[in-house]
Amino acid sequence: MREPAEAGSALDGSARAQPSHAIILGWRGRDLTVTPPADLLPLDDAALADALFGPRAMSLAPRLLRDRRGRFFRARPMDYEALRGALLAQAAAPLQTAFDPRPALPFTPRPTLEPRPYQTEALTAWRAGGGRGVVTLPTGAGKTYLGALAIADTGLWTLVVAPTIDLLGQWKRAMAEALAAPPEMVGVYGGGAREIAPITIITYDSALLRPELLWRFGLLIFDECHHLPAQTYRQIAEGAFTPLRLGLSATPERADLLHIDLDQLIGPEVYRADPESLSADHYLAGFQVERVTVTLTPDERARYDAARETYRDFVRRRHLTIASPADFQRKILWASARDPEARAAMLAWREARALALDATAKLALLEDILTRHHDERVLIFSEYNALVTEISQRFVMPSVTYLTPASERRAILEGFRAGRFTKLVSGRVLNEGVDIPDCGVAVIVSGNATPREYIQRLGRILRPKATSATLYELVTEDTTEERASTQRRRRG
């Protein structure tokens, strides 16, 4: 993957005061700039584009915006490779860059572990895709080490973008160990830290606020890349010039279907391995999933049926089609802000969902499971934090939610890791971005319908171990939770 740096890379990033005989690729703010030679500046936009880009001018023109004084074109940094390729092919003038597109690491990264066969296959597939693409591996399968292999393969300054502050430290430690990197070669940016190093780990939020940092690196790695297509975070990918991009996720699919934009923002999916295949090959723990059903009490059933009928009646009367989360958000949730009937329907939907997810019988079943696994480490997940609190109090176990202070959360996880207690209950906050100690049993008391959440929770028990892991899924019969359970266990 290593290639020599482009000529002229020592130039300043500004498009001002450049040699008049050359075409200059530079940057201003969040934009890539294309500054033509002085003798081409009098041409109008169309003629100038044709002179610079030749046959590709028509396809590239929509990506270009000429400066109001006519001195240069502005474009998205993400279009750097396409513009550069067209400029080189047309060869209207010598091409120079005002930044180094391939900054080499100042040390030789040396992977310290032998990669697993599927990691080698994933790296080969990513390389075959021109150093662009998404790799989908289950939690616990070594996505971080795959990132280290990509860094060693390219030998370039690398920016790793991660969703949480917790992941900054995890990635920093992993890169230092995996690549035998001197401590000063790996830095973190976010959570109060401002370290810029040849390998820098940064949060999505910090990368969004500091676009100028993107111009220092030759390789981008997006951890938990399913976050990237969001309307805000996608600006990170659009504001970076490097074509070398690796996306990592256990489940890149999104309920809003924006994951299709990953093809443009990072590249297509180039490799995927599922938990079943890796468990069969003994790279992850063997596991079994037990779906256990419960029933509503007579009072819960009456309340559930009444709430569902209120919701369905509204949908029927308004002739609404609710085929996706986006439909529900637009036709029910947003409408409820101005329409009293829509609000009543939305509240009824919430009541029915809460009754199904928090059915009283689940606590008795959970007690049986905890008794069965008395001496084992058990991780419990719930959709609603109110039930997290109830489980914590009823069974006298620690809990972690988004309200838990960071210091307390670290202490709880360390206690779980050290074995001072063997049971832990949480909401969504532990789905991703947190290094949870390995355990052999997980219980989904309740959850949403997204496959991502299911895969993330399953992944918490899949680290290789001598014994088989068990995931219990508690589902309330004859409710919408049955359909949600089926949907979240689907792949892709």
Residue 303 lies in a domain: yes
Pair 332, 366 in one domain? no
pTM of the prediction?
Answer: 0.84
Residue 332 clears pLDDT 90, i.e. is over it:
yes
In this structure, what DSSP letter does residue 329 have? Answer: I
Percentage of the residues of the chain whose pLDDT score is greater than 70? 94
Least confident of 325-334, 386-395, 459-468: 459-468
Choose among 440, 431, 429: nearest CA to 463. 440
pLDDT for position 292: 93
Pair 447, 396 in one domain? yes
What is the tens place of the pLDDT at every residue in 262-288? Answer: 999 999 999 999 888 898 888 888 889
User: Mind giving me the DSSP string for 92-105?
Assistant: SS-EEESS-SSPBP
pLDDT for position 402: 86
Choose among 318, 306, 326, 305: nearest CA to 257. 326
What is the tens place of the pLDDT at every residue in 80-125? Answer: 999 999 999 999 899 999 889 999 999 999 999 999 999 999 999 9
Residue 355 clears pLDDT 80, i.e. is over it:
yes
Residue 203 clears pLDDT 80, i.e. is over it:
yes
pLDDT for position 1: 55
What's the 3-state SS for 167-217?
HHHHHHHHHHHHCCCCHHHEEEEECCEECCCCEEEEEHHHHHHCHHHHHHC
Residue 74 lies in a domain: yes
Residue 73 lies in a domain: yes
**How far apart, in Å, are the Cα atoms of 358 and each of 297, 383, 419, 450?**
12, 9, 29, 18
Pair 349, 374 in one domain? no
- Residues 337-347 have a mean pLDDT of 95
DSSP 3-state assignment of 88?
A: helix
Spatial distance between the Cα atoms of 153 and 448, rounded to a whole number of angstroms = 39
Pair 371, 469 in one domain? yes
What are 37-42's contacts with CB under 8 Å, separation 24+? 37/92, 37/93, 40/92, 40/93, 41/70, 41/71
pLDDT for position 162: 95
**How far apart, in Å, are the Cα atoms of 156 and each of 108, 152, 179, 185, 460?**
10, 8, 13, 12, 32
DSSP 3-state assignment of 338?
A: coil
Least confident of 2-11, 50-59, 132-141: 2-11
- Residues 294-305 have a mean pLDDT of 96
Spatial distance between the Cα atoms of 62 and 131, rounded to a whole number of angstroms = 26
Spatial distance between the Cα atoms of 98 and 77, rounded to a whole number of angstroms = 13
Spatial distance between the Cα atoms of 144 and 356, rounded to a whole number of angstroms = 37
Amino acid present at 163? P
Other CB atoms closer than 10 Å to residue 375's CB: what's the count?
Answer: 5
Amino acid present at 351? E
Residue 5 clears pLDDT 70, i.e. is over it:
no
Residue 396 lies in a domain: yes
Pair 465, 371 in one domain? yes
Pair 259, 201 in one domain? yes
Residue 269 lies in a domain: yes
Other CB atoms closer than 10 Å to residue 62's CB: what's the count?
Answer: 7
- Residues 271, 276, 280, 282: what is their CA dihedral angle, to the nearest 10 degrees? 70
Mean pLDDT of the chain: 89
Residue 210 clears pLDDT 60, i.e. is over it:
yes
Q: Which of 97, 129, 162 is the last residue of a domain?
A: 97
pLDDT for position 449: 66
Q: Where are the alpha helices (DSSP H) in 404-479?
A: 406-418, 451-459
DSSP 3-state assignment of 35?
A: strand
Pair 350, 378 in one domain? no
Other CB atoms closer than 10 Å to residue 320's CB: what's the count?
Answer: 17
In this structure, what DSSP letter does residue 39 have? Answer: G
Spatial distance between the Cα atoms of 89 and 73, rounded to a whole number of angstroms = 18
Query: Where do we find the tokens 């990953």?
Result: 262
pLDDT for position 20: 64
Pair 133, 46 in one domain? no
Residue 11 lies in a domain: no
Tokens standing for 213? 């940092």
Confidence of residue 166 (pLDDT cuts 50, 70, 90): confident
Pair 236, 374 in one domain? no
Query: Where do we find the tokens 């220092």?
Result: 216
pLDDT for position 171: 94
Q: What is the span of the domain harbouring residue 162? A: 117-273
Choose among 301, 308, 311, 300: nearest CA to 344. 311
What is the tens place of the pLDDT at every residue in 91-100? Answer: 989 999 988 9
Spatial distance between the Cα atoms of 414 and 313, rounded to a whole number of angstroms = 50
Helices (H) and strands (E) in the chain, counts: 18, 19
Amino acid present at 479? T
Least confident of 138-152, 367-381, 451-465: 451-465
Residue 157 lies in a domain: yes
Residue 7 clears pLDDT 50, i.e. is over it:
no
Choose among 463, 465, 425: nearest CA to 446. 425
- Residues 134-157 have a mean pLDDT of 95
- Residues 100, 102, 107, 113: what is their CA dihedral angle, to the nearest 10 degrees? 150
Residue 449 lies in a domain: yes
**How far apart, in Å, are the Cα atoms of 145 and each of 39, 105, 164?**
51, 18, 18
H or E segment to which residue 316 belongs: helix 298-317
Spatial distance between the Cα atoms of 184 and 418, rounded to a whole number of angstroms = 30
Contacts for 85 with CB less than 8 Å, ≥ 6 apart = none
pLDDT for position 433: 63
pLDDT for position 430: 75
CATH number of the domain encompassing residue 418: 3.40.50.300
User: How many structural domains compose the chain?
Assistant: 4
Pair 144, 51 in one domain? no
Pair 326, 247 in one domain? no
Residue 16 clears pLDDT 70, i.e. is over it:
no
**How far apart, in Å, are the Cα atoms of 492 and each of 259, 423, 428, 449, 452?**
11, 31, 21, 13, 9
What is the tens place of the pLDDT at every residue in 434-474? Answer: 777 778 899 999 887 677 778 888 888 888 787 889 999 99
Pair 369, 346 in one domain? no
Greater confidence (489 vs 415) lies with: 415
Confidence of residue 311 (pLDDT cuts 50, 70, 90): very high
H or E segment to which residue 423 belongs: strand 423-426
